[in-house]
Amino acid sequence: MDPPTGDQPVPGGEGASAAPFSALPTPRSITWRAWLGSPIALLPLALVAAIVIVLLYASELKNFGWSFWSFNYLFDPLTDSGSFGVGIFAAGSAITATLALILAGLLSLAIAISLTVYLPPIASRPLTILTNLLAGIPSVVYGIWGYVILAPYFGSTLEPTLQNVIGFIPGFGGTRVDTAGGTGLLLAIFILTIMVIPLTTAIMRESLRNVPRDLVEAGLALGATQWEVTRQVRLKVARGGLWGALFLGFGRAIGEAVAVAMVIGASIQIPSTIYGGSTTIASFIFYQLDSAFTYPSLLQALVEYALILLAIAVIVNVVGQRATHSDTIAAATGGV
Amino acid sequence: MTNDSIVQGAPMRHRGGRRIGLGVTIAVAVILLAAGLGGGYVLGGSHGASSGATKYTLLETGSTLIFPYMNILGPKFTSLYPNIQISPQATGSGTGISSAEAGTVDLGGTDAYLLPSVAANYSLINVPIAISAQLAVYNIPGITTHLNLNGTVLSMIYSEKITKWNDPLIQAANPGVALPDQTIVPLHRSDGSGDTFMWTSMMYMSWSGWTGGYGTTYSWMANQKGYEGNAGMVSGLESTPYGLAYIGISYLSEIQADSSLQYAALGDEAAIVNGTNPANYVLPSAQNISEDANLALKNLQPPSVAISLILGGVPGATDLKLGAGGTLPTAQYPTPYPDTNLEYILISTHPANPSKQTWVVNFLEWAMTFGASYATQVNFLPLTPTVVGYNIQALGGVNVSA
């Protein structure tokens, strides 16, 4: 994303990444692979288009008016009507995803720097495998772990202790009602942080690893310490990838439905404390989907929530991919 | 996108390791697949040999309240008819209804009847299989007795008009009990739930201040936390001191297994209908539940079996929309337990596979007659003869193969 400021001319984004591939031999004729492959390559595009079309069709684009963008959610199942404000759920999503990302971002950066700069390969290799392993655990497993093991501990021990110790900080106080059962924002953020760390760590690690060796060695030759080189060279060259990791991590956190639904407490509110129950867009869809088949207008509202999530996912992923890509360009051109 | 991003920048030296990992994964997958196929073949073979009839697995999903009952009925039916397996799932009544509508299951279990007009759109019929009840369960440290609560008080608690356990209205119903000066923490179901339907129905009928109607989903007060399924409510309440929850009676043994949980006696209908203080409080005993069911079923309008038994039912109503209130106890049925319900199975009248549907009908007819003796194992009650009669009549309209 950042315009390279090096003295050599920098080609545009596509040109730079395409350059190495132009050297490959071009296929002489259209093989069966190409015949078969081309339509299959278009499959993802067709799938995304199909999802959007089906969602638009299912929602019948019912106009809920301005109340849809409000913080007022009140559904009356008797009359199958009500106010379907997305505000509370959007806020829940934003709070959990952002806080989880701040925590995960800091931890991932520390892990990635340790793995690439400081630890010898004998230590960093198994740790790399372990962080990758964390990424492969299905989200529902995190959810069950949070719900069965962590929630009782959070509710009975950790959260009351936090209330006693740092309760004077606004948002960390509250009563027994907020910590009841242990489910709530704090547990959701905790679970999301653990779920996001493997993804952000992997991208950050590879971005740091892709920093050209000559730049690092030049820095060291000038007498800089490892930490100074990391701060001045590695982090600057890799910043696109680091930002990309955050965006992709945000996409993962905001889209997570099952694990969050199991631990966030299913309250329709923006709680006044970090312990209180809340709901995100994704988990609310998860909670209500089965009932929604009985209540047509609720189903329409859920479909429109899904469209919002889809839009967020597209934006976040495009920005994230662009950012990691710009990092690859920077590395390829040697520009800082 | 995750894998792309990781692979994109992966150094070459890791590729070899990946290939070995991939090989191992494929080997394990092949072994598992072979084992699974082999197991299936062996099982299928033995069953095929033991009976000549076509084998069917009847899929049931929905109500977590019905789930323990189906788990008892299924194996009993299979022991009689080895070619039939019943595969029940506890997913909540909302899923039971939606899966039946979508036609992805043979039996859709629900505590809330599907409105006959809606059911007709999907060629579904409501088939009651048992009478159940719902408990108001609380976790109050220091109180191990059955508290007296009633619909009005519970409705005010869930509306947060009553917030403390020692509220004068609760204290008045429980003279002599040392109620704690603690905030009540009401729990609700996060999934689409027939228990939520029953509970909000009772709230709606018991107190004019209740807003938001009733249904398998409800817009709960902001600070109330939700739990998944009846089992989730039990475990959630265990870790919520001073909490209050609504839990289906088929989870009574789980509730009794935990000394911190206890269920309430509920005020009789007379109080609600007349707006007076309840004369007596009734526990969910078999006697009291059956009294309520009999009281309400007097109002049954043939041929529909879609009826709410809450508070003794509403006269002439197959749909609560027609009126709030309840039916007064009679001399014949003096102590009806108000939070009583019929458990429904939704089945299709025009199934894709009529010969399989024959077995669905067989199973239901067995379940409501001979199988009904197992109902008490999960604290359900067998249907009354009137309802069974209506059921047999309704099942006659199902398209089955001769």
Give the pLDDT confidence of A169-199 residue by residue, as tens digits: 999 998 888 999 999 999 999 999 999 999 9
Q: Percent of chain B scored above 70 by pLDDT? A: 81
Burial class (CB in 10 A: 0-12, 13-18, 19+), B29: exposed
CB B108 within 8 A of CB B92: no
Average pLDDT of the residues of chain A: 84
- The residue that leads in pLDDT, B270 or B63, is B63
Looking at residue B56, the DSSP 8-state letter turns out to be E
Q: Is A256 on the interface with B (CB under 8 A)?
A: no
| pLDDT (0 to 100) of residue A108 | 95
Distance from the Cα of A156 to chain B's closest Cα (Å) equals 7
Residues in chain B: 402
Residue B47, pLDDT > 60, answer: no
Tell me which residue has tokens 């009932």: A291
Tell me which residue has tokens 């809920």: A64
- Per residue in A225-284, pLDDT (tens digit) is 999 999 999 999 998 899 999 999 999 999 999 999 999 999 999 999 999 999 999 999
Q: Percent of chain B scored above 90 by pLDDT? A: 51
As a whole number of Å, the end-to-end CA separation of chain A is: 12
Q: Which residues in chain B are closer than 8 Å to A75, comparing Cβ atoms? A: 212, 217-219
Token digits of residue A124: 């960093």
**Hey, what amino acid is at B279?**
A
| pLDDT (0 to 100) of residue B323 | 57
CB B203 within 8 A of CB B150: no
Q: Which residues in chain A are closer than 8 Å to B160, comparing Cβ atoms? A: none
Under an 8 A CB cutoff, do A181 and B9 touch? no
Residue B306 pLDDT class (50, 70, 90 cuts): confident
Please state the φ and ψ torsions of residue A329, each to the nearest 5 degrees.
-65, -45
| pLDDT (0 to 100) of residue A61 | 66
Under an 8 A CB cutoff, do A151 and B239 touch? yes
Under an 8 A CB cutoff, do A77 and B218 touch? yes
User: Is the bond preceding residue B315 a cis peptide, omega within 30 degrees?
Assistant: no
pTM for this model (two decimals) = 0.81
| pLDDT (0 to 100) of residue A56 | 77
Under an 8 A CB cutoff, do A294 and B222 touch? no
- Gap between the Cα atoms of A88 and A90, Å rounded: 6
| pLDDT (0 to 100) of residue A26 | 56
Q: Is A159 on the interface with B (CB under 8 A)?
A: no
Residue B330, pLDDT > 50, answer: yes
The CA-CA-CA angle for residues A228, A234, A236, to 5°, reads 100
Residue B366 pLDDT class (50, 70, 90 cuts): very high
CA proximity to B391, closest of B63, B194, B113: B113
Q: Which residues in chain A are closer than 8 Å to B223, comparing Cβ atoms? A: 177-178, 267, 269, 271, 276-277
As a whole number of Å, the end-to-end CA separation of chain B is: 54
CB B364 within 8 A of CB B74: no
**ipTM of predicted complex:** 0.78
- Per residue in B78-136, pLDDT (tens digit) is 999 999 999 999 988 889 998 999 999 999 999 988 888 888 899 999 999 999 999 99
Tell me the three state secondary structure of residue A81: strand
Which helix (H) or strand (E) covers residue B17, if one does?
Answer: helix B15-50
